[in-house]
Amino acid sequence: MHYDIVVVGGGAGGLELAARLGRALGRRDGPASVLLIDRSVFHIWKPTLHEVAAGTLDAHQEGLSYMILARRNHFSYSPGELTGLDPRAKRLTLGQMRDEDGREVVPERTISYTHAVLALGSGSNFFGTPGAAEHAYVLERARDAERFQRHLLAAFTRAAFADHRSLGVAIVGAGATGVELSAELLEAHSLLQEGFRAEQRFRLDITLVEAAPRILAGLPEKISAQAQLALERKQVRVLTATPVTEVKADRLVTAGGEIPADLIVWAAGIKAADANAHFGLPVNRANQFVVDDHLRTGAPDLYALGDCAACPWGEKWVPARAQAAHQQADYLAKLLLARRRERDHDAPFVYRDFGSLVSLGENRGVGSLMGGLGGPNFFVEGLIAKWMYISLHLNHHRAILGTGNTVVLALARLLQRRVSGRLKLH
């Protein structure tokens, strides 16, 4: 099979790129113009995985089928996972896919391309911590979040009927994921308590553990301070400057002592897949593909974007954020369309930091806006920050669904919540 443009990875950046290219090329030139490859059959915006994990967002309502998105945006979709790459021959190998019983569903395939974009995302970085991979939950994909939610619901039920009436959750890493997960777990617990009798109500003890001197270390100090204050007011135990040395089944071992926990979540650091180092392309220590300021890898007509790409940004690197993937998708769409039309596109990619927003529950958030545009940061908090946080999610949907469909989808989900409630219990 041959495609003009192949996008490997259907995350925020990869899907937006495929949708833009499909609308520009697919309607006129046919389905062989643009191919999107992803190992899942549906898409969910990664920054919402903490809500799926807490049960405050239903992945099956939130998820969007790649097949339907492909039809609406005029690109092709194929399920698969990249297992081999021959940059010189411009060939990709996709490994076979099996069902839960081990039966082959899709055979191994080879796909050739004229241009390709690697948007493979990233996973968790355990930093060599013993026991982390075996005993801690991660939130890398929708299935990870759903798996944690199932175990969380069972743990809630056990705690409601246990003699001690308490549940301990330890979260390693106080970046955006760890902080937001803490807040969503408190929301889920509060909603659940409303349906229990007084004798079944239990205490939720959340401990947020961070090795750095403060939480949200990559964001301005004012956001960090406000977020920590909000969490501590909600009785979250926040431990900073506390590196984790070992993860056991029922506790964390830290430099400051042991922390008992019924559930442990690892949200500290990201790292691209180890397999990236075997594709014949330059990678850095985090297994990210090294790209230049045009997002080009070391092979001709092969690009990379998002968390799997190490892209220069002055003396630093473009951060692994959804807004970076969005901007890179927009840039590559223009570049590839220019290449397709045999026009020059010499302008380099320039990342603009528009600030950061962190959700602290249903009606609360903190953030700074216009964070890299040469002026001062504008600090926002409370309901305004929460609404702006939600608008980022809707903007992603607008890029792949269009404005009209996004409005209909948002209204439908709002009405569904009014009927079934905010907490997913099944």
Mean pLDDT of 155-173: 93
pLDDT of residue 381: 56
At residue 413, does pLDDT exceed 80?
A: no
pLDDT of residue 372: 40
Predicted confidence (pLDDT) per residue in 114-129, tens digit: 999 999 999 999 999 9
At residue 53, does pLDDT exceed 80?
A: yes
pLDDT of residue 410: 78
At residue 376, does pLDDT exceed 50?
A: no
At residue 201, does pLDDT exceed 50?
A: yes
Predicted confidence (pLDDT) per residue in 294-314, tens digit: 999 999 999 999 999 999 998
- Greater pLDDT, 193 or 15: 15
- Greater pLDDT, 224 or 333: 333
| Cα–Cα distance, 195 to 222 (Å, whole number) | 37
Mean pLDDT of 78-93: 95
pLDDT of residue 58: 84
pLDDT of residue 421: 58
What's the pLDDT band for 420 if we cut at 50, 70, 90? low
What's the pLDDT band for 373 if we cut at 50, 70, 90? very low
